[in-house]
Amino acid sequence: MSEPMREIIRVEKITKKFNNIFALKNISFTTHEKEIIGLVGDNGAGKSTLLNILVGLFPPDEGKIYLEGKEVHFSSPADARNQGIEIVYQFANLVEKMNIYKNFFLGREIIKKVGFIRVLDKEKMRKISEEKLNEIGINKRSEQLIESLSGGERQAVVLGRAFYFGTRVLLLDEPTTGLSIKEVDRCLRRIKTIRDKTSMSIIFVTHNVRHIFPIADRVIVLDRGEIICDKKTENTTIDEITQLIAKEKIHLH
Amino acid sequence: MQKVTRLFAKHLSITEVNRCILIVILSFIIFIINPFFYTPANLRLIVVWGSIFSLMVLGEMLYLIPGGIDLSLGGVICISNVLAAVFILRYGFEIWLAVLIVLITGFAIGLTTGLFGTYFSPPFRFMLPVFIFTLMLNFVLTGIARIITRAFPIYGFPPSYSLIAKAALGPIPIVTVYLLIVLVMLVYFFYFRPIGWQFFATGLNDEVARKVGINVKKIRIIACCCGSLLQAFAGVIVGSYLAVGSVLIGPPYLLPILAGAFIGGISLAGGEGSPFGAILGGFSVYLIENIIVVLAISAFWKEVAIGCFLLFFVIFDFYRRRRAVIVSV
C-alpha cells in the first residue's frame, strides 16, 4: 500500500479530568487518509473517554481537534455525525424492529416532492441501501427487519451507512466483541473493503490485539490516559503490544 | 390451497386485519340476535360515537407510541368541556374564541406533560415520569373543573354550539369528518415524513434514536402536545354533542379508551401501533357499549364485556407473538 498522505483528523493535547483524576493527559495523534488505526488499552485506560470526546458526547477540558486542517467543536453526537464522524458501537446502534433501509437512513432521510407536498422517497432509499450493502458483501432485502440479522450483518449495515454518507472518520468501538470466528473474519474484511473504496480513516478500538494486526496500519496503546506507544504495525509484534498493555509477560501463542 | 392458507395466515397476523374481521363477525352475530342493530338511527349513533371514541384513542396513541402513557385523558376532557361551557355561558365569549382557548389549554397541558416527562427521562424511562404526572393531572384537572362549576352541570347553550358536533356533510356526520381529517394528517406525518420514522424509532429504542442524532425530547414533546390537543378537542365535541358542561363527562372515559388503545394493537411498550388500529380500537369499545344497550342487557355488563374483550385480544396477540418467536427460532 502506498504511503497515506493527507491528514484527516488531528488531535492536539487533549486533556480530560473527572473529579480531579486525569482520564486523558496530553493526548496527541494524527490520522491519515485510508489509514486504519488500532487503539488498544486496558480497561480504564481512557479509550472510551477519547471516543466520547471525538463523537461529541462531552467536550475536552483542554486541547483541540482538527478535521482536515480546520478546528472543530462538536456540540452533540448529531453534530459530530453531520461533520463526518461516525461511530459503530459494540452493540450496533440500530433499531431492532425496523427495516434495514429505515435504519440506514434514520435521522437523514431522503425527501422528494410530489406536487407541492414533500414525502419520503422510499424507493430511492431502498435502492441505495441494497446497493451499498451489496458492495460490502451482504445480500439482504431492504425490507428485512434488523432483528432477523446476525451480529456481523448488523455491523455491516452500520458500516454501509457510514460508507454511503461520506463519513471522514469511522470509529469502531469493540466491533469484533461477541462475534463468531467466521464473523470476525468477515467483519475485518468489510472494514478493509470500506477503507479501499473510500478515503476515510478508521479508528479501531478493541481489547483483542490479535484482531487489529491483520488490518491496522498503526497501533496506539493507551495507558492511564497517556499514549505509551504509537508504532506502525510492521515495526512491532503482537507480543510487544500485549506486554505493554498488561505490563507483564503474557504468551498468547 | 396451502398457499391460500399461508396468505390468509399472514394477513390475519396483521393487527388491523384481524380486528376488522372480528368487528364484522361480532356485528353479524348481533344482527342475528337483534335486527334493531341495523336501523339507520343506531348505525348513525355508532358512527358518531365511534368517531368520538376514535379521536380519544388517537390522542392516547400519540402518547403511547413514543413510550409514554396518558392517564390525564379524563381530566383533560372534563376541563375542556367545562371551560368551553364557562367561557360561552358565564363570560359570553364568542364560540370560536372559547373553543380556541380550550384547544390552547389542551396544548399547554400536553406541553407541561412533555416537558416534565423529558426532563426526567434519562435516567428514568419516559413512561415513569409521564405516568405520575398525567395521573396527577387527571386528579387536579377534574378537581379544578369541580371548583369552577361547583359540580353543577351547565346548560343552555346557543344552538350554534351544538353544530360543532351535530352538523353533517350530506350523510356523513361532521364528527367523522374531523376523524378523517385527523387520520389523513396522522398518516401523512407517520408514514410519509421523516418525523414519523423518528417517532416510531423513539418508541422502539430511545437510546439508539438518541445516538443516531434524533432529537428524542423534541419528538416526545410534540407528541404529548398533539395528544392532549386531540383530547381537548374530543372534550369540546362531547360537550357540544350532549349540550352540557359537566364534571361528570370525562373521567369515566379513561379506562375504556386505554382498553381501546390496547384492543387496537397499540403496545404499552411503545413503538407499535397505527392510526388505523387506534380507530378500530375506538369503534370496538363503542360497539361493545352499543351492543349492551341494543340487546337490553344491564349496563353493568358493559365493563365485564370490555374486560373480556381486552383479555381476548391481549392473549391473542401474546399467542401470535410467541408463535412468531418459536417459528423464527
What string of DSSP letters covers A2-39? PPP-SEEEEEEEEEEEETTEEEEEEEEEEEETT-EEEE
CA A194, A200, A203: angle at the middle one, nearest 5? 90
CA B262, B80, B289: angle at the middle one, nearest 5? 40
For residue B49, which of B289, B246, B292, B244 has the smallest C-alpha distance?
B289
Q: CA-nearest residue of chain B to A158?
A: B212
Nearest-angstrom CA–CA distance, B271 and A98: 10
H helix and E strand count, chain A: 8, 12
DSSP, residue by residue, A180-249: -HHHHHHHHHHHHHHHHHS--EEEEEES-HHHHTTT-SEEEEEETTEEEEEEEGGG--HHHHHHHHHSS-
- Cβ <8 Å between B213 and A95: no
Residues of A in contact with B205 (CB under 8 A): 95-96
Are B72 and B227 a contacting pair, CB within 8 Å? no
- Percentages of chain B per state (helix, strand, coil), in multiples of 5: 80, 0, 20
Residues of B in contact with A108 (CB under 8 A): 213
Are B190 and B196 a contacting pair, CB within 8 Å? yes
Nearest-angstrom CA–CA distance, B315 and B328: 20
Q: CA-nearest residue of chain A to B328?
A: A148
DSSP, residue by residue, B210-254: HHTT--HHHHHHHHHHHHHHHHHHHHHHHHHHHT-B-TTSSGGGH
- B53 vs A27, more confident: B53
| CA distances, B136 to each of A26, A77, A145, B70, B270 (Å) | 51, 35, 39, 11, 22
| CB contact B104 to A (< 8 Å) | no
Residue among B197, B200, B211 minimizing CB distance to A93: B211
- B76 vs A229, more confident: B76
Element (H, E) at B310: helix B301-328
Nearest-angstrom CA–CA distance, A183 and A191: 12
Q: Taking the CB of residue B60, how many other CB atoms lie within 10 A of it?
A: 30
pLDDT in tens, chain B (329 residues): 777 787 777 777 777 887 888 788 877 887 888 777 778 888 888 899 999 999 999 999 999 999 999 999 999 999 999 999 999 999 989 999 999 999 999 999 999 999 999 998 888 889 999 999 999 999 999 999 999 999 899 988 888 888 888 888 888 899 999 999 999 999 999 999 999 999 999 999 888 888 887 889 999 999 999 999 999 999 999 999 999 999 998 899 999 999 999 888 888 888 888 999 999 999 988 988 888 888 778 878 878 888 888 888 888 878 877 776 665 54
| CB contact B36 to A (< 8 Å) | no
Residue among B200, B205, B209 minimizing CB distance to A96: B205
Q: Which of these CATH numbers, 3.40.228.10, 3.30.70.20, 3.40.50.300, 3.30.70.1050, describes A7-96+152-246? A: 3.40.50.300
How does DSSP classify residue A99? B
* Identity of the residue numbered B48: V
ipTM reported for the complex surpasses 0.85: no
Mutation target vs A (from B188, B193, B211; most A CBs, 10 A cutoff): B211
- Cβ <8 Å between A120 and B271: no
pLDDT tens digits, one per residue of A126-178: 898 888 888 887 888 888 888 888 878 888 888 888 888 878 888 888 887 77
Nearest-angstrom CA–CA distance, B80 and B240: 11
- Cβ <8 Å between B192 and A148: no
Q: Which residues pair with A31 in a beta bridge?
A: A9
Q: Which residues of A touch B (CB under 8 A)?
A: 76-78, 81-82, 87, 89, 93-98, 102, 105-109, 111, 117-120, 148
Calculate Rg over the CA atoms of chain A: 19
Beta carbons within 8 Å of B209's beta carbon, 6+ residues apart: A95, A106, B198, B201, B202, B216
Mean pLDDT of chain A: 83
Beta carbons within 8 Å of B11's beta carbon, 6+ residues apart: B17
- Cβ <8 Å between A118 and B193: yes
Residue among B194, B204, B209 minimizing CB distance to A97: B204
> What pLDDT, on a 0 to 100 scale, did the predictor assign at position B278?
93
Residues of B in contact with A82 (CB under 8 A): 213
CA torsion angle for B87, B88, B93, B99 (degrees, to 10)? Answer: 80
Determine, yes or no, domain membership for B91.
Answer: yes
Are A218 and A231 a contacting pair, CB within 8 Å? yes
Are B241 and B149 a contacting pair, CB within 8 Å? no
Are B53 and B264 a contacting pair, CB within 8 Å? no
Mean pLDDT of A57-70: 85
Could you tell me the pLDDT band of residue A249, with boundaries at 50, 70 and 90?
low
> What pLDDT, on a 0 to 100 scale, did the predictor assign at position B319?
80
- Cβ <8 Å between B210 and A77: yes
Are β-strands B168-169 and B172-173 bridged in parallel, bridged antiparallel, or unpaired? Answer: antiparallel
Mutation target vs A (from B10, B15, B197, B210; most A CBs, 10 A cutoff): B197
Mean pLDDT of A92-112: 85
Beta carbons within 8 Å of B246's beta carbon, 6+ residues apart: B81, B82, B149, B153, B154, B239
Beta carbons within 8 Å of B157's beta carbon, 6+ residues apart: B85, B88, B89, B240, B243
Query: Structural domain boundaries of chain A?
Result: 7-96+152-246
pTM: 0.86
Domain that holds residue B156: 52-250+268-273
| CB contact B271 to A (< 8 Å) | yes
Q: How many pairs of residues across A and B have Cβ atoms under 8 Å apart?
A: 59
> What pLDDT, on a 0 to 100 scale, did the predictor assign at position B228?
95
| CA distances, B174 to each of A173, B47, B237, B245, B284 (Å) | 56, 10, 10, 20, 20
Q: Which residues pair with B154 in a beta bridge?
A: B245
- Cβ <8 Å between A98 and B204: yes
Mutation target vs A (from B198, B208, B327; most A CBs, 10 A cutoff): B208
Residue among B194, B201, B213 minimizing CB distance to A98: B201
Residues of B in contact with A76 (CB under 8 A): 213
- A179 vs B229, more confident: B229
Determine, yes or no, domain membership for B23.
Answer: no
Number of domains into which chain B is organized: 1
Q: CA-nearest residue of chain A to B206?
A: A95
Q: Residues in chain A, how many?
A: 253
> What pLDDT, on a 0 to 100 scale, did the predictor assign at position B77?
95
Determine, yes or no, domain membership for B215.
Answer: yes
Residues of B in contact with A91 (CB under 8 A): none
Interface of B with A in 187-246 (CB under 8 A): 188, 191-194, 197-198, 200-201, 204-205, 208-215
3-state secondary structure of A43: coil
> What pLDDT, on a 0 to 100 scale, did the predictor assign at position B258?
92
Residues of A in contact with B328 (CB under 8 A): 148
Nearest-angstrom CA–CA distance, A97 and B272: 9
> Rounded to a whole number, what is the distance in Å from the CA of B175 to chain A's nearest CA?
26
Q: CA-nearest residue of chain A to B329?
A: A148
Is the pLDDT score of A1 beyond 50? no
Residues of B in contact with A109 (CB under 8 A): 194, 197
